[in-house]
């Protein structure tokens, strides 16, 4: 628990320093495009919040390496940061220059995943899925599955990073789920890695939610996705009693959001899968559910409406995270919940896109019922 608290306090302090330094400076670090299909903020905001998280974990890694050299925590944190650096740096360069393409950022995430396979040994050697288990039985196949999973998770977190607190809290939930299961199986190292990551992200979260004083940016989102995926794969690699479907269910919201978006763009709309649009589930919640809850269009009202969006998706994510920690060793039950989540997601999306969402979803607490 000390690691969690130390990470939280340090990250909160470092992120505050970044916020203060960039309040009247750092023009290049701010998101000045307020008109894109996924843009919902009302003022230019710095997109380098990942710096505080990355720096916090770096300080912790050095502190443990120097103060407790016999502990593996400092060394493992340092290796995670080194492997995740390509994804983080590529995203950060995009945040600052706006000139790093989606393809280059994805290649950087793939490089980070490849490094982790060789440095950390996080290849996926089992899936409890018939065809994929056959692929995982080969060394190359196991490595390829890990690269796809980690790079995909990095991209998935970036996709859901559209509203204050949304992506960061979802990753915190995933890491806390991993920490819980690691504690259940007696893996102290993975538990501490997960708690360190969760604490560092929460230190950023308090400045991001609800007011949006700073954003994760692509660098932060890609790194958070990489970190959560790698810590989960470390848990699987070190503890065979944990079902390989546990991390999939725990992270199913960003993963399914990504897969569904790819299907929707390519198959339904005939567009490139990387083409941004404004009809993600979180965008629909903002535009079609909360337009009744907050009717004004001034900056304060829009910021409040932004902050009211994330809790809807936190709840959706929790519907998967809770059963993942309850049934972490039973692949059959975990698989059933994965299918159930997909059905709930698609049904909810269909209702909202057709303006048929239940009225209780459209109302602010305390507001009178609509007639």
pLDDT of residue 369: 41
Report residue 368's pLDDT band, with 50, 70 and 90 as the boundaries.
very low
Residue 293 has pLDDT above 60, yes or no: no
Q: What gap in Å lies between CA 307 and CA 208, rounded to an integer?
A: 10
pLDDT of residue 370: 43
> What burial class does residue 40 get, using C-beta atoms within 10 Å of its C-beta: 0-12 exposed, 13-18 middle, 19+ buried?
buried
pLDDT of residue 271: 80
Asked whether the CA dihedral 151, 350, 274, 220 is positive or negative, the reply is negative
Give the global pTM.
Answer: 0.91
> What tens digit of pLDDT does each residue of 161-211 get?
989 999 999 999 999 999 999 999 999 999 999 999 999 999 999 999 998
List the beta strands (DSSP E) in the chain: 30-31, 45-46
Indicate left, alpha or beta for 123 from its phi (over 0: left) and psi (-120 to 50: alpha).
Answer: beta
To the nearest whole percent, how much of the chain has pLDDT over 70?
89
Q: What gap in Å lies between CA 287 and CA 303, rounded to an integer?
A: 13
Residues 6+ apart with CB under 8 A from 268: none
Mean pLDDT of 271-287: 83
209 contacts 164 by C-beta, under 8 angstroms = yes
Query: What does pLDDT average to over the chain?
Result: 90
> What tens digit of pLDDT does each residue of 77-102 get?
999 999 999 999 999 999 999 899 99
> What tens digit of pLDDT does each residue of 220-261 get?
999 999 999 999 999 999 999 999 999 999 999 999 999 999
């Amino acid at each position: 628990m000390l690691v969690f608290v130390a990470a939280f306090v340090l990250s909160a302090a470092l992120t505050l320093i970044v916020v203060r330094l960039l309040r009247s400076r750092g023009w290049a670090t701010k998101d000045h495009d307020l008109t894109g299909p996924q843009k919902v903020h009302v003022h230019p905001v710095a997109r380098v919040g990942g710096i505080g998280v990355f720096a916090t974990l770096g300080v912790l890694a050095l502190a443990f390496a120097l103060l407790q050299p016999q502990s593996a925590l400092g060394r493992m944190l340092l290796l995670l940061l080194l492997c995740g650096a390509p994804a983080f740096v590529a995203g950060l360069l995009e945040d600052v220059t706006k000139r790093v393409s989606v393809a280059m950022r994805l290649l950087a995430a793939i490089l980070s995943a490849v490094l982790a396979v060789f440095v950390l040994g996080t290849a996926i050697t089992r899936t409890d899925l018939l065809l994929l288990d056959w692929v995982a039985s080969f060394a190359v196949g196991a490595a390829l599955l890990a690269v796809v999973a980690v790079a995909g998770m990095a991209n998935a977190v970036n996709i859901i990073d559209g509203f204050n607190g949304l992506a960061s809290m979802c990753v915190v939930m995933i890491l806390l789920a991993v920490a819980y299961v690691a504690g259940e199986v007696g893996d102290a190292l993975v538990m501490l890695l997960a708690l360190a990551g969760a604490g560092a992200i929460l230190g950023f979260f308090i400045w991001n939610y609800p007011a949006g004083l700073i954003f994760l940016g692509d660098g932060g989102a890609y790194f958070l996705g990489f970190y959560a995926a790698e810590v989960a794969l470390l848990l699987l690699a070190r503890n065979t009693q944990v079902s390989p479907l546990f991390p999939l269910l725990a992270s199913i919201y960003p993963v399914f959001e990504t897969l569904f978006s790819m299907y929707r763009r390519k198959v339904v709309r005939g567009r490139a899968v990387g083409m941004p649009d404004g009809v993600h589930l979180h965008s629909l919640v903002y535009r079609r559910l909360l337009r009744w809850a907050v009717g004004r269009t001034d900056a304060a009202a829009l910021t409040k409406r932004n902050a009211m969006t994330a809790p809807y998706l936190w709840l959706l994510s929790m519907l998967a995270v809770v059963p993942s920690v309850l049934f972490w060793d039973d692949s059959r039950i975990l698989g059933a919940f994965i299918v159930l989540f997909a059905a709930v997601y698609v049904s909810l999306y269909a209702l909202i896109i057709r303006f048929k969402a239940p009225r209780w979803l459209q109302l602010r607490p305390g507001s009178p019922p609509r007639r």
